[in-house]
Amino acid sequence: MTTMSAATASLTERYLEEAERYSAHNYHPLPVVLERGEGVWVWDVDGNRYLDMLSSYSAVNQGHRHPAIVAAAKEQLDRLTLTSRAFHNDQMGPFLRELCEASGFDAALPMNTGAEAVETAIKMVRKWGYQARGIPEDKAEIIVCEDNFHGRTTTIVGFSSEAQYREGFGPFTPGFKLIPYGDIDALRAAINPNTAGFLVEPIQGEAGVIVPPDGYMQQAAELCRENGVAFVADEIQTGLGRTGRFFCCDWEGVRPDVLIVGKALGGGVYPVSAAIADKEFMDVFRPGDHGSTFGGNPLGAAVGMASLRVIRDEQLSRRSDELGSWFMEQLRAIPSPHVEQVRGKGLMIGLVIRESSGTARPFCEALEQRGILAKETHHQVVRFAPPLTVSRDVLRDALVEIADVLR
């Protein structure tokens, strides 16, 4: 075995060794070490440039270091960053007003990470179930879908159907019922008098960009309404323009009872998330019921406000719609023996590699060699989700490389 001397090891190798030695091994990243980003581009420590086709799982819809978001952050950094919710600050109110106006709801409860906003929605729906629906104490049920991804807290992984997410982390929170995704009859059969809510992703991103049958969200919302069940949409990944609409639910004219947002709400600059709902649901929370030291802090609020404005002012939903359908068509037109399917909505696209061609990982590694960063999800799927600020020309160049790799 040879050891690399510090002089001959590339910078990348040295950073990889350090991360390997000092970090927990809870991820399996591509071996690229990034040090700078601008718009759709990122640069590694050896000076190579890459097109970011993952956008941090859609947290960077506005592009890296969007000037308006960075400016808002810098300005706020020079004024006030944290008050805790023990006091008011002058950023949270305006931010939540813009968030509520953009999404069409009465009120929003700000948190930081996506998982926290999901937990907030779960607590909201359970308490609403007891208060408004009279569900007997500790009997509230929430229906969730197989192959869901809603985050990594113990309660959330407890209702995952992915063995690895759960293994070794029990015991888990009771009160969740799993049904197949996209199956409206299964939802109908699962609802009972103790069902408080149905929590669902409009497209399952982490499961491999699974798009449910047309009409599913609409029928599910209808079924929930008929039965007095809260319809909860996790739009942490699908929301804020990613799928070609402001929210993916907009594709079917669905208005959920509770809407969960995160990721791009912080513009890739700062973690900002929220559970959004009308008063009927939000008012179950009284002082002391729920909270977060950092949720609603002025820095996050200023960043969130700027992030929302960029999506609106640059019409990123429309860009995503137009470029996404064109890009998907182009991907489908690539003659490749390895591609089983290309699916998605807007710029949330999954390219499925045939099992006979191996896993998606080597394709992602080959793309990395050609300056395109994409990450495999669930073994067979390469996800393409560039920042929504991407141009057609940049995508056209990327297609040349992608086609080469797929042939």
Ligand X SMILES: *Cc1c(COP(=O)(O)O)cnc(C)c1O
Three-class secondary structure of residue 125 per DSSP: helix
Q: Please report how close the Cβ of residue 157 comes to ligand X at its closest, in angstroms.
A: 11
Cβ count near 283 (within 10 Å):
16
H or E, element range at 352: strand 348-353
Q: Which of 237, 292, 307, 380 binds ligand X (CB under 6 A)?
A: 237
Cis peptide before 287 (omega within 30 of 0): no
Any contact of residue 115 with ligand X (CB under 6 A)? yes
**151 and 114 Cβ atoms separated by less than 8 Å:** yes
Using the rule CB under 6 A, which residue among 151, 182, 212, 296 binds ligand X?
151
Q: Is 135 in the site for ligand X (CB under 6 A)?
A: no
Of 326-385, which residues contact ligand X (CB under 6 A)?
none
Among 107, 135, 232, 236, the residue binding ligand X under the rule CB under 6 A is: 236
Q: Which stretch binds ligand X (CB under 6 A): 65-73, 81-89, 143-151, 225-233?
A: 143-151
Q: Which of 44, 119, 147, 234 binds ligand X (CB under 6 A)?
A: 234
Using the 8-state DSSP alphabet, how is residue 2 labeled? Answer: P
Residue 307 engages ligand X in binding (rule: CB under 6 A): no
CB 6 → ligand X: shortest distance, Å?
35
Nearer to ligand X, 230 or 339 (CB): 230
Nearest to ligand X of 44, 201 (CB atom): 201
Q: Among 73, 107, 118, 385, indicate the residue that binds ligand X (CB under 6 A).
A: 118
348-353, strands of its sheet edge to edge: 339-345, 348-353, 381-384, 375-377
Contact 305, 346 (CB under 8 A): no
Q: Between 244 and 262, whose beta carbon lies closer to ligand X?
A: 262
Nearest to 261 by CA among 276, 242, 277, 281: 276
Stretch that binds ligand X, among 68-76, 111-119, 129-137, 219-227 (CB under 6 A): 111-119
Indicate the residue among 44 and 206 with the shorter CB distance to ligand X.
Answer: 206
Site for ligand X in 308-337 (CB under 6 A): none
Q: Which is nearer to ligand X, 149 or 247 (CB)?
A: 149
Query: Looking at the annotation, which residues are catalytic?
Result: 149, 234, 263
378-to-59, 235, 317, 363, 390 alpha-carbon distances in Å = 20, 20, 27, 14, 25
* Closest CB 123 distance from ligand X, rounded Å: 16
| Whole-Å CA distances, 165 to 151, 154, 181, 367 | 10, 9, 18, 28
How big is the chain by its Cα radius of gyration, in Å? 22
Stretch that binds ligand X, among 166-174, 232-240, 299-307, 348-356 (CB under 6 A): 232-240
143-161 exposure pattern, b = at least 16 Cβ within 10 A, e = fewer: bbbbbbbbbebebbbbbbe
State whether the Cα torsion 301-243-200-343 is positive or negative: negative
Q: How far is the CB of 56 from ligand X (least distance, A)?
A: 9
Nearest alpha carbon to residue 388 among 292, 313, 335: 313
Q: Tell me the backbone φ, ψ of residue 233, rounded to 5 degrees.
A: -100, 120
Does 114 contact ligand X by CB under 6 A? Answer: yes
Residue in 15, 95, 128, 149 binding ligand X, rule: CB under 6 A: 149
Minimum CB distance to ligand X, residue 264 (Å): 11
Per-residue binding string, ligand X, 245-284, x by CB under 6 A, is -----------------xx---------------------
Kindly give the pairing relationship between strand 273-277 and strand 339-345.
Answer: unpaired
- Going from the C-alpha of 342 to that of each of 171, 325, 329, 348, the distances in angstroms are 38, 11, 9, 11
Strand order in the sheet with 230-234: 107-111, 273-277, 258-261, 230-234, 195-200, 141-145, 176-179
User: Could you say which of 113, 120, 219, 320 contacts ligand X (CB under 6 A)?
Assistant: 113
Rounded to a whole number of angstroms, the minimum distance from the CB of residue 407 to ligand X is 31
Site residue total, ligand X (CB under 6 A): 16
CB of 403 to ligand X, least distance (A): 28
Q: Restricting to residues 21-60, which ones interact with ligand X according to CB under 6 A?
A: 57
Site string for ligand X, 191-220 (x = CB under 6 A): ----------x---xx--------------
Secondary structure class of 191 (helix, strand, coil): coil
The binding site for ligand X (CB under 6 A) comprises: 57, 113-115, 118, 149-151, 201, 205-206, 234, 236-237, 262-263
